């Protein structure tokens, strides 16, 4: 284990800051006579991991002064019944944002369900319409995890304009929207994946390296340019505890800045969900264009 040279980018600190900004803005909205933003989390069935995720989102929502409009649906519910619930939430003016917790039970068509959430209430930023808006550079709600990475980098004054950034992993949830958000920030972005020929070499030219490959410990010190900023989106339960896609102990001796796992990108995801819900509510209230 080399000596740690990298400064830690603590996501819990940044996330706390975002949540506090949201809480302040919610308080201002309600003082001005607007209803508090409402987040409708939709959980189908009893998957324990999903229950934990949804509970954390609901708590964060309430803590920020928003209305928790949770809906728990039975695991054997039919496609049409879920669709009807989503349509009702879409039409309900109390609901600022709708989050359909994934995965849904296998007998349901998640894609068709997501497509029913109107872009204006898509606080997860994952519907086809939101993806289209991002791809075409139009305004819209952005996916929470990549938006959280941008915010974390901004909070640490990491320059992105003109910067060489490499993103590892081309998932629809993280890697692909990450490329688009970084390009919007004027970075020069390279997207790597499992078919990339010399991954270490492509990563080593990056001043900022964002890893969302879903492979524990994939990125070692040979893939990191000395002084680079390394953001680890991966999270894996291993026999040594929670680990990311980056070999933290060794990379921390090469990088200039690094996110820990846990406590890096993870907390930013829920914080950006709250920021999206606030944004949706403000647009719906006519407070934002």
Q: Is-contact 65 36, C-beta < 8 A? A: yes
Q: Which of 10, 32, 79, 101 is catalytic?
A: 101
172 binding a copy of itself? (CB under 8 A) = yes
Q: Enumerate residues 82-121 that contact a copy of itself by CB under 8 A.
A: 111
Q: Is 20 labelled as part of a ligand binding site?
A: no
CA contacts within 13 A on the Cβ side of 217: 8
Strand, helix or coil for residue 42: strand
Q: Enumerate residues 40-79 that contact a copy of itself by CB under 8 A.
A: none
213 binding a copy of itself? (CB under 8 A) = no
Query: Which of 5, 12, 92, 188: binder of a copy of itself (CB under 8 A)?
Result: 188
254 binding a copy of itself? (CB under 8 A) = no
Residues sharing a CB contact under 8 Å with residue 119, sequence separation 6 or more, in sequence order = 127, 129, 130, 133, 140, 141
Q: Is 96 labelled as part of a ligand binding site?
A: no
Q: Is 170 labelled as part of a ligand binding site?
A: yes
Strand, helix or coil for residue 147: helix
How crowded is residue 139: how many other Cβ atoms within 10 Å of its Cβ?
Answer: 12
Examine the residue annotation and report whether 101 is marked as an active-site residue of this protein: yes
Q: How far apart are CA 124 and CA 286, in angstroms?
A: 21
161 binding a copy of itself? (CB under 8 A) = yes
Q: Which of 76, 79, 121, 124 is catalytic?
A: 124
* Cis peptide bond N-terminal to 262, omega within 30: yes
Which CB atom, from 56 or from 183, has the smaller least distance to a copy of itself?
183
Which CB atom, from 164 or from 222, has the smaller least distance to a copy of itself?
164
Q: Is-contact 116 83, C-beta < 8 A? A: yes
170 binding a copy of itself? (CB under 8 A) = yes
Examine the residue annotation and report whether 124 is marked as an active-site residue of this protein: yes
Q: How many residues does the chain have?
A: 289
| Residues acting as catalytic residues | 57, 101, 124
């Amino acid at each position: 284990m080399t000596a740690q040279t990298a400064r830690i980018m603590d996501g819990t600190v940044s996330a706390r800051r975002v949540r506090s900004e949201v809480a302040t803005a919610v308080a201002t909205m309600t003082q001005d006579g607007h209803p508090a933003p409402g987040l409708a989390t939709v959980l189908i069935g009893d998957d324990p991991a999903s229950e934990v995720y949804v509970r954390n989102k609901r708590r964060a929502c309430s803590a920020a002064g928003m209305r928790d409009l949770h809906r728990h649906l039975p695991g054997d519910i039919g496609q049409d019944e879920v669709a009807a619930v989503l349509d009702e939430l879409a039409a309900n003016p109390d609901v600022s944002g709708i989050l359909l917790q994934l995965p849904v039970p296998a007998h349901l068509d998640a894609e068709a369900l997501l497509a029913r959430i109107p872009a204006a209430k898509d606080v997860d930023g994952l519907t086809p319409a939101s993806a289209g808006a991002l791809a075409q550079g139009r305004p819209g709600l952005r996916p929470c995890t990549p938006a959280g990475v941008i915010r974390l980098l901004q909070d640490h004054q990491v320059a992105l304009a003109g910067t060489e950034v490499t993103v590892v992993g081309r998932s629809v949830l993280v890697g692909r929207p990450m490329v688009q958000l970084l390009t919007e920030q004027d970075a020069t972005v390279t997207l790597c994946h499992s078919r990339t020929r010399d991954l270490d070499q492509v990563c080593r030219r990056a001043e900022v390296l964002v890893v969302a490959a879903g492979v524990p410990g994939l990125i070692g010190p040979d893939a990191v340019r000395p002084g680079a900023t390394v953001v680890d989106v991966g999270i894996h339960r291993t026999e040594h505890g929670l680990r990311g896609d980056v070999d933290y102990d060794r990379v921390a001796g090469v990088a200039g800045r690094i996110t820990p796992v846990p406590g890096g990108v993870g907390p930013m995801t829920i914080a950006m969900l709250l920021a999206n819900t606030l944004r949706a509510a403000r647009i719906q209230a006519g407070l934002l264009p």
